[in-house]
Chain A
Amino acid sequence: TQTVSQSDAHVTVFEGDSVELRCNYSYGGSIYLSWYIQHHGHGLQFLLKYYSGNPVVQGVNGFEAEFSKSDSSFHLRKASVHWSDSAVYFCAVRGTGNTGKLIFGLGTTLQVQP
C-alpha cells in the first residue's frame, strides 16, 4: 500500500527566503512521485515529477525536488520564494500496478510574508 506523509501542515517564511517542504512516502513497486500546487480557490496544478534518472528534478517557477530512496523522501525546495508562492502544496505517489491512480498527502500550506 502506498502512503504519503507531509509532516508540516503549515510553513511560514519571508519573501526571498529559501524553503523546503517535506514529503515522505512508502511504496510497493515502481516509483512515481509528483508535487502539485493549489492556489486558494483553484484546482491543483502540476509542478514536477520523478520516476527515473537524475534524482533532482526541476519544475516550474524555480521549484525543484530531490528523490531519496534511502530516506523514502521527495522534498520540494525553492531557493528564493515570492509572495505569489503562497499556496497549498501536495505531494503525490502513484499507486501500485498501472492504474495511474495518485495518492495525495494532506498538503502543506506555505505562507510567504512580505
Chain B
Amino acid sequence: EAAVTQSPRNKVTVTGGNVTLSCRQTNSHNYMYWYRQDTGHGLRLIHYSYGAGNLQIGDVPDGYKATRTTQEDFFLLLELASPSQTSLYFCASKTDANTEVFFGKGTRLTVV
C-alpha cells in the first residue's frame, strides 16, 4: 500500500519561531499536498506540487512556504510561526488527477 510519512508527528514552537514539516512518499506519485485541519474549517489546502521543483499555491498560503526538492520529498516551512498556525497538518500524495489521495498520519503543531 502507498505510504506517506510525515515528521515530526508533534511539534511545539514559540511565536516567531522557524519550523519545517517534512513529508516523504515512496510511491513515485506526481502530486503532493499540504493541508491543515481545524475544527469548523475541515481541511484546507496550503500548497501543492506536480513534481520536483514545481510549486502551486493553495487556498490558505499566507505564512507558509513549501519546497519540493525531489519526487519523494515535500516540505512545509513556517518562517515566523504564529499562534494562528496551531493546527493539525496533513501531507498527501497521488499519482494523477483521477486517482485516490493517500494521506500521512499528520503533524500536530502548537505555536505558543
Which residue of chain A lies nearest to B91 when distances are taken between CB atoms in the complex? A43
A63 sits at the interface (CB 8 A)? no
Contact A105 B103 (CB under 8 A): no
Interface size class of B (residues with CB under 8 A): 20 to 34
Name the distance in Å between A67's Cβ and chain B's nearest Cβ.
Answer: 14
Residues of chain A with a CB closer than 8 A to B92's CB = 44
Across the interface, which residues of A come within 8 angstroms of B31, CB to CB? 100
Kindly report which residue of chain B lies nearest to residue A106, judged by CB atoms: B42
**Other-chain contact of A100, B41, B90, B94, B105 (Cβ < 8 Å):** B94
The reply on B84 being an interface residue by CB < 8 A is: no
Could you tell me if B104 and A43 are in contact, using CB atoms closer than 8 angstroms?
Answer: yes
B58 touches A101 (CB 8 A): yes
How many angstroms from the CA of A25 to the CA of B57 in the assembled complex?
23
B19: CB under 8 A from chain A?
A: no
A residues sitting closer than 8 Å to B (CB atoms) are: 32, 34, 36, 42-46, 49, 51, 90, 94, 98-107
Additional A-B contacts beyond A100-B50, A100-B97, A104-B43 (15; CB < 8 A): A32-B97, A34-B101, A43-B106, A44-B101, A44-B103, A49-B98, A90-B42, A94-B97, A98-B97, A100-B31, A101-B56, A102-B101, A103-B45, A105-B42, A106-B40
